[in-house]
Structure 1
Amino acid sequence: MLTKFLVDEAQLTDLVAPVGRLSSAEPLSGGMFATAYRLHFDDGRSAVAKIVGADTSRFLTYERGLLGTEALTYRMLEDSGVPVPRVLHTDFTRELLDADLVVAEHLPGVPWFGHELDEAQTAVVRHNLGAVMAGLHRVEAPSFGYPAADAGLSAGTWRDAFVLMIEAVLADAERWQVALPAERVRAAVAAHCGALDPVTRAAVVHTDLWEGNVFIDPETLDIVGIIDTERTLWGDPLHELVGADQFGTGEPNVDLLSGNTAAGGVLARELASPTGFTRLQLSRLYFSLVLTIEPTMRGYEGEWAVGYENGARSNLDLALVRLEATPTAS
C-alpha cells in the first residue's frame, strides 16, 4: 500500500527555515502520494509545503520527478495570468530528509470540490475553467512530453512523445503484472499516431484539472487558483479535456468549451479539426491505461478500488473500439 512520507515537527521546521520561522503547521488531507502541510510563519504569512519521499517504487514511470515538475510549472506560469501560487522554496538535495520539498504560497478561495453549487453556478465555474485553460495553453513549452528528466519521456514531436508515454505505461503494467490488451493498444496507436502530427506547438497542459485542484471565490465564482501541477506535460491542448474528466467518455463539456473559446482558446477549434476526434480518443486511451494500473500499483483496497479499475477497463475498451472503428488518415 502506498504510504505517505512521515515528517516530525523539528524536521519540518528545518526544511522550511529558508522561508521563515515556523509558528505552526497543520497536515492537509487529500492526495495519494504527497505529504502536505499548511504552514504559518511568525511574520503572518501562510504557505503550503508538499513533501514526497525518495522511494518511487509505487510510482508510474511518468511520475518520476513529480515535485520538480510542479515547481517548474508554477514558475513557467508565473507571469501568464493563470492563477497559480508562487514558489517560495524548493529542496531536492535530500540532505535534511530523504525526500523532495516544494513550498508555495497559500491560495485564497475555497476548493471547488465539496463546495455546493447549483447547476447554473456550476456552468459558470466550468466556463471560467475553460478560460483558465486558454491561459495555460498560450504558454509554449520547449519540447513535448513530460518535463522531468527522471521520467525520460520527452521528445521533439508530440507523436514521438506520445508513443514513449504509451510504451512506458505498458511497461509499468508488465512490471506490476496488470493484464492489459497491449497488442491492441500498440496497434491502435500505430494506426492513428499520424493524427498527432498537426500538433506542432507544445502547450503547457496541466492534465489534472478536476474540482479538487481548482480554487474559487465563493461569491463571484471566479477561479482564484489552480494547484497540483506535478503531472503537467507539454503537448496537445486536447489532452487537457481528458485530464479534467478522466473517466469521461462523452462529448466535452459545452460550458467549458464556450469559456475557452471566449478567452481565445483553441479547444473547440481543435476538436472540430480533421484529427480532433482521434486525438481525443488517443488521450482517453492513455489515461485509461494509467487508471487501470493504479489500483494494483498503489495497493488500493476495498470495493471502491474494484469499481475504479473496472471503470477504467471499460473506458479503455471503449477507446480502443472507437479507434479501431475510425478510418486511418491517408
Structure 2
Amino acid sequence: MRSRTKHRLTRLEIVKLAANQFGDNTTVGVIKELKGGMFNSAYLLELPGLKQEVVLKVSVHPDASLLAYEKNLMRTEVEVYQHIASTTSIPIPDIMGYDFTRRLIPSDYFFMSALKGQTMHSLRKKLNTALLDKIKVELGGYISQLHQIQGSYFGYFSEDDKLQFRTWKEAYWHMMQMILQDGKRLNVKLPYNRIETIIKQKEHLLEAIKVPSLVSFDLWPGNIFVIEDNDDYKIEAIIDFERSFWGDPYADFPPAFMLFKDVRNEKQFWHAYSRSFNKALEITREDYLRMQLYKLYIFLIMSIETYRYGKVYGKLQYIYSRSTVMKCLSELEVYD
C-alpha cells in the first residue's frame, strides 16, 4: 500500500540490521518487501544460515508527518507481543529481536518469525460461511484472553505518568482531543463542535469501565493469519498490535467491521468470547452506545489519516469514513 509514512530501506541497510541481530556471518538471500501494511514497512528475508525466513519490520522515519497518537507505536507493538506471549495461548509470531536505539538506522525495528499461512482478507473469496464461522469461534476465545490482560492505567501505552489516566472517561476524552486537533491541523472537514458536544453528552457512559483491559483496536481480516489444516483452516497467528491501548474491551468490536457488521449478531463468536469469563455476557443498551463512541473514534482516525495516502484511495476512504462518522453522531444524538 502506498503511504507517505513508510520508511523503505536499501538492501545494504537490511543486511546490516540482519548482521547486527543474527551475527556478522549472516547471509541474506532474497529480500521481498511486504506490501500489505499501511503504516510501517516490512520485509521478508531469506536467511539460509538459519534455514528459515524472517520478517523485518521498520517503523516510520522520525521526520514523517504523524498523527499525535502515533508516536513510538512499534515499541507498543513489541510490548504487547510480550504480554501476550507470557500470559495467553494466543498464537503470535516469535519476536526474535528488536532495537529501539536508532543507532544503525533512524527508526525502530524488530525481527519476527515469518508466517506460513495467508490472511483472512486475502482468502475472503475462498472461505465459505462454515469456515468463517469456525474461524470466528476460535477468534472469540483468543480475543477473550486478550481482554483479560489488565493494565495499571487507562490510555495509550506511555511512560509519561501524565498520559496514564486514572479513569477511562479521562483517557477517551484525551484520545479524542488528540485526533480532533490533528484533523483541524490538517484542515479535514468535519463537524468538530458537534462531535465534542455529543461526546460530552455521552461520556458518562464510560464511567462503567473500572478496569483497564488490553485492546488491540486493529482487529480486521488482514491481521489474522490462517493456515490450511486437512481441508480446514485454523488461526496461525494474530499480528499488528501497534495501535493497542488500555481501555474498555468492547472498544475492539467497532474496528472489526470487516469481520462482522454487528457483534450482537455473531452468536457463535460471542458464545466463545463469553465462555472464558465463566459467565454469560450480554451487550446492554449502554454497552452498545459506548461502542458507538468507539466507532466514532476509529472512523475519525480513518477520515483524518487519509492525508498520507494516494489521491484516489485517500478520497474514497475519506468519503466512506466521514459518512460513517455522521451516522454515528446521528445515532448517538437519538438517545438521551
Same fold (TM over 0.5): yes
- Tell me the CA shift for residue 239 of structure 1: 0.6
Q: Distance in 1 between matches of 2:160 and 2:119?
A: 31
Alignment identity in percent? 28
Alignment RMSD: 2.3
Instruction: Give 2:95's aligned residue.
Output: 87
Q: Distance in 2 between matches of 1:18 and 1:188?
A: 51
Instruction: Give 2:194's aligned residue.
Output: 184
Instruction: Give 1:230's aligned residue.
Output: 242
Instruction: Give 1:34's aligned residue.
Output: 40
Tell me if 1:53 matches 2:60: yes
1:151-194 CA-to-partner distances (Å, cap 9, x unmatched) read 97541211111000100000000110112111111111111111
Structure 1: state its 5+ residue gaps.
none
Instruction: Give 1:170's aligned residue.
Output: 180
Q: Distance in 2 between matches of 1:253 and 1:34?
A: 34
Instruction: Give 1:14's aligned residue.
Output: 16
Which moves more between the two structures, 52-61 or 40-49?
52-61
Which moves more between the two structures, 118-127 or 102-111?
102-111
Out of 258, 277, 296, the residue aligned to residue 264 of structure 1 is 277
- Which residue identity does 2:304 align to in structure 1? I
Q: Report how many residues are paired.
A: 323
Instruction: Give 2:81's aligned residue.
Output: 74
Q: Greater helix share, 1 or 2?
A: 2
Q: Is the 8 A contact 1:65 1:148 kept in 2?
A: no
Out of 108, 115, 133, the residue aligned to residue 100 of structure 1 is 108
Q: 1:94 to 1:78 in 2, by over 3 A?
A: same
- Tell me the CA shift for residue 253 of structure 1: 4.6
Instruction: Give 2:171's aligned residue.
Output: 161
- Tell me the CA shift for residue 138 of structure 1: 1.2
- Tell me the CA shift for residue 6 of structure 1: 2.3
Instruction: Give 2:28's aligned residue.
Output: 23
Q: Is the 8 A contact 2:221 2:259 kept in 1?
A: no
Q: Distance in 1 between matches of 2:17 and 2:316?
A: 39
5 Å-filtered alignment, 1:289-328, equals: 289-295=300-306, 297-302=307-312, 304-327=313-336
Q: Distance in 1 between matches of 2:220 and 2:78?
A: 19
Q: Distance in 2 between matches of 1:149 and 1:62?
A: 14
Q: Distance in 2 between matches of 1:146 and 1:225?
A: 23
- Tell me the CA shift for residue 217 of structure 1: 2.3
Q: Distance in 1 between matches of 2:84 and 2:259?
A: 27
TM-score relative to the length of structure 2: 0.89
- Tell me the CA shift for residue 50 of structure 1: 0.5
Instruction: Give 2:297's aligned residue.
Output: 286
Q: Is the 8 A contact 1:56 1:64 kept in 2?
A: no
Q: 1:234 to 1:318 in 2, by over 3 A?
A: same
1:17-63 CA-to-partner distances (Å, cap 9, x unmatched) read 24322432322111112111112321213321100233354321111
